[in-house]
Amino acid sequence: MRTSWRSTASSSSSPRTQIRGREAWHLTDQAAPLFWQERVQELTCILDQMETIDASVPALTGRIDHDRIAAVGHSLGSHTVSVLLGARLSDRNEAARDVDMRDPRVKVGVLLAGLGRGEDLDGPMGSRYPALRLDFSTLTTKTLVVSGDADVNPHLTTRGADWHADAFSDAPGADSLLTLAGAKHGLGGIAGYDAKETDDEDPDRLGVTQRMVWAYLWSALNPGNPAWQDAILALENEATEFGKVDSN
């Protein structure tokens, strides 16, 4: 599963009811404009319906491994995935501060240019969207954090690019950090080469991001597989100009 800024739900001027799997919940203007809980519930709904999807799509029938599931999120999508992996809201004024929405069916996660520590979300976005403030201390699912050392976003934080790597130091489950040299928020083109939000279009950097993420996921979902260690060695020996990997 992959989620990003583009997956935000549209807001509505009147309450509406959403039906997802076995659950139904009521959305009001208080949930807008992020609908952060709905975003997590939609991913959970997909997991609830895996058998139906398997049986309904001939090309997928018998090919979905229900025991090896990963979730990957970029930017705001990292908020959704972080919560799915076990993170919780940290703003003291949020009613859902202590809500646990972790789904144990997700065995591994990847946070791409993700949100950092909630207490340091001191830019304009922090006061406008307090639900973006996260506490990673309860995120125990195995996780790779990917950040760019040039990903500076004053509208989010005054701390600088290192803020996007906070989950690596704060989350018990985050065991690896891939820092991409010269990368901004787009990490070379996550949203697409021609997307307006791609602020650092670089096919080579994007290729490194893709290969490293796939190697991590392959090893994480197949214990004993050397893909991740092989990728780290290749980066260290042949492509140090693109970045580095730190491990807990």
For 220-230, the pLDDT digits (tens) are 999 999 999 99
Kindly write down the DSSP assignment for every residue of 147-170, as one continuous string.
Answer: EETT---TTT-SS-GGGGGHHHHH
What's the residue count for the chain? 248
Residue showing tokens 């005054």: 158
Structure tokens at 192: 């697409």
Backbone conformation region of residue 113, classed left if phi is above 0, alpha if psi is from -120 to 50, else beta: left
Alpha-carbon span 146 to 215, nearest angstrom: 13
The average confidence (pLDDT) of the chain is 87
pLDDT per residue over 148-194, tens digit each?
999 999 999 999 999 999 999 999 999 999 999 999 999 999 988 77
pLDDT tens digits for range 121-156: 999 998 888 889 999 999 999 999 999 999 999 999
Grade residue 33 by pLDDT with cuts at 50, 70 and 90. low
pLDDT score at 20:
38
| pLDDT value of residue 19 | 37
